[in-house]
Structure 1
Amino acid sequence: MVNACCVTNCHNRTHDRHGNRISNGVRFFSFPAWKQHVGSQVSELTKRLRMAWVAAVRWKNITFNNIPRHMFVCSRHFHKGKPAYEMLECDPDWVPSLHLGHTEVKATHSGRFNQRKQRQQAVTGNNAAPAPLDLAGQRPEMDEAATPDGASQMDDTGSKDNTAEQQECLFCSCRRVEINRLLKENRRLKEELSQKKMEEDFLKDDDVKVRYYTGLPCFAVLMGVLTQLLPCLPQTGRKLSPFQMLLSTLMCLRLNLPIQHIAYLFSVARKTLSTTFRDTIGTMFTHLKPLVHWPERHCLQTTMPHQFVEAFGNRVAVIVDCFEIRIE
């Protein structure tokens, strides 16, 4: 699909007229959505953001309630090459502001525009030129009746400005509280996700889990085994990390769980896990075989259970404990 910038006199596109992709590093961004169901503060902020974008672009076919899907704004119109986070209203890239094809500024919020206009008028009134001198070289006295009206007007303007500033400060405070809450929730969700992804954090600092899932005594031993196998494990084109490959294989050996069940735990296909088990068990056999030593005969007799000694005497050399793994 061909994307083009909708800003006046901007001709940036994703493809040329022959349908070839243009690789010039220009990115395209859609208009922000009005989030109405995530709280009144966020709803009001995203509404103003959408209004600001519409006012900045000033395209006749674009209104607040009607923005065609093919309308985009390219990175050329932002200082940092991309829009700022929607909650950062003070960021210069909160709305597109560069190379907009027009110089007129249109207010997107009439209340704030009127407040700014009143402040400008008040400053202009304070800096007005002094009254001309009369024929006697004295400046005429001001009308006493007019003085209270002017002071009253200034007081009203200042009161409105103070009220508006207090409302804006209150909104900024609420926004910071909301941002902090969302950041805290985001960190909590990331921690919970890492616990469920069957990665290192799933077993780290929990030797009880390590013994249950792998049969190894502690997490350090598990990582030592992984270090020995890592150079020989296939690491390209894999959906599972080397740690997940080893863990899933040890879980199959230790718990004798169905392949499909473990595939669900690791969020991969059954065929993927079967291939992983086959490759990992082969690597383990090749590189860990020197670690398996057959005890001497007298050592086996020393550790033989008493019931076997009474029943079979010295004829028993070793007791083999077998387990069954279903294969395809």
Structure 2
Amino acid sequence: MVNRCCIVGCNSATHDRHGKKIENGLTFHRFPAWRRNHGDQVSEITKSRRLAWIAAVRRPNITFHSIPMSMRVCSLHFHSGKPANEMYNSHPDWAPSLHLGHTEMKATKTARYERQNKRKRQRTDSTPAMDETVIDDLVPPVETPAPAEDGADQTLLTECDFCQRRRAEINRLLEENRTLKCELGQRKMDEHFLKDDNVKVKYYTGLPDLEVVMGVLACVGPYMTQSSKLLPPFQMLFLTLMRLRLNLPLQHISHLFRVDRKTVSKTFSDTINVLHARTSPLINWPGRDALHATMPHQFVEAFGKRVAVILDCFEIFIQTPSNLKARAQSYSHYKHNTTMKFLIGITPQGSISFISKGWGTRQ
């Protein structure tokens, strides 16, 4: 099937007129659907996105409830070469925005209307059946009375001034819309919130920079399930790292990410399981040769080559269990709270080589 881009003035297609496939590396994307059965928030976002695509394309045969199946938008009209995730409503590729031909409206020059009016007068003069009464009926009235021809000139100039003001207002609104989207993107808890600010990345996630965060996402992202459809994979990981780092309450995180508290709880639980399954193989016990080759000289001087691991035990706070027996087993008189304890092993070089399962404080 031949796919063609529906953007006015774009000639991109998958096949030429002889039916031969064109190897141009372009992709063609359908208009987004309005998903009404996934909650109010998803319904509102997908509806707004469908309207945004229709407004960007501006074809008379495309309406909200009637979009031909053959209509596609090619990758040339997106900054990244493809549409962004539907939940990234502040992303520049949430809707087509490049090479549309009508993003900015330019004011029409009055000389064009003057030339058009001159040609119209010449046609009128060459038509004997067209009398002065008919001309008066065709030309809208103006505030300043004038002869028929001068009145037509003034009417066209008045309309031209009105078009200029209207288009100037449209351009002002477009610029205001871009500014507001940029401000919204800076406040949204996504990768743009952490971009170019390693101090912020360290504070919220505990990782050194955004590249490391994206590396973790590349490792666990394909295995994360978006059951709620409200949060993209990056926000699911960001939410989890933020809670692990800062121990923020679920209700507070739900306000930051603008989702329900139950969504935060389920997302955190699911993401923790994926992180454990994908990253636990990275913790391994090195062999003696590797330990000796990387042993700091301070350890060699003090202990020779007898050090294999440095052991420590630590506790972390947990929510109070509803089960009375579990609550008694996890209560710490030292911390005056319910905790779990872990045994951790570290190599002399400083890398973690062992983490035990969690145990109740009294076990």
TM-score, normalised to structure 1, is 0.47
> Which protein is richer in strand relative to its size?
2
TM-score, normalised to structure 2, is 0.43
> Which protein is richer in helix relative to its size?
1
